[in-house]
Chains A and B, each alone.
Chain A
Amino acid sequence: DTEVTQTPKHLVMGMTNKKSLKCEQHMGHRAMYWYKQKAKKPPELMFVYSYEKLSINESVPSRFSPECPNSSLLNLHLHALQPEDSALYLCASSQDRASGGGNIQYFGAGTRLSVL
C-alpha cells in the first residue's frame, strides 16, 4: 500500500466551483510533487515543493494553486477549472531532490477529477 495518501479519490466539479485536493505523507520526506496525468499519457510535472518552499512551477495556469502547510501536507486548490483539466492528479514525495537515491518518488493513488 502507498504511504502517500490522497483525498478525495474521485471528484466531480463544475467550472465555477472551488475545491481542494489533499496529499499527506509521514515518511519524513522533504520534497513533494503534483503531477497531472491524462489517459494513456505519462505523468506531467506541475509543481515541486522542497523543504516547504515552492521550487518549480511548470507554467501551470493560475486556476491551480498549490500550498504546502507543513512538511507532511500538500494541497492543490482548484478554481474555475475547464473540462480539459479533467485528469488523474497524482501527488508524490521523495526524501529530497538530490540524486543518489534520495529522489526516488513515491506516488499516492491519485485523485480522479472530472470537470463538467
Chain B
Amino acid sequence: RKEVEQDPGPFNVPEGATVAFNCTYSNSASQSFFWYRQDCRKEPKLLMSVYSSGNEDGRFTAQLNRASQYISLLIRDSKLSDSATYLCVVGHNDMRFGAGTRLTVKP
C-alpha cells in the first residue's frame, strides 16, 4: 500500500463548480499535512497547510480527519486559473507526496 494515496483524476469541471479532492495516508504517526499545487513544467508551490481543526483560505478549504487518516481539499467557485495538479503531502520529519490529482477547469 502506498504511504499517500490520491485519486489521480483527471477532474474536468466547468468554471464556477465546486470540486473536492481526498487523500489518504497510511502512517498514523504523521504530523504534518499540506496541499501543494503544481502547474505544468513548474515546481510545486505550497497551497495551504492543513490543520486539525480545518482551515480556509478564500475559496479553498482543507480538512483533516485523523481517525480515518485522510485529508481533503475543497475548491469553491473554481476559476480557469485553478487548473493544475494538486499534490497531497504528508509526513513527520520526512514528507511523502501523493501521486497528484489533475484538475482542469473549463469555460
A interface residues with partner B (beta carbon < 8 Å): 2, 41-43, 45, 48, 56, 88, 90, 97-101, 103-110
Contact = CB atoms under 8 A, between A and B. Distances in A.
Interface residues of B, number: 22
B31 A43 contact: no
A104 B49 contact: yes
Nearest to A6: B43
Main secondary structure of the interface of B (DSSP, over half): strand
Interface of B: 31-32, 34, 41-46, 49, 87, 89, 91-100
Q: Is the interface of A mostly helix, strand, loop or mixed?
A: loop
B100 A42 contact: yes
B43 A104 contact: no
Nearest to B30: A99
Nearest to B100: A42
Given A99-B92, A103-B95, A109 B42 contact: yes
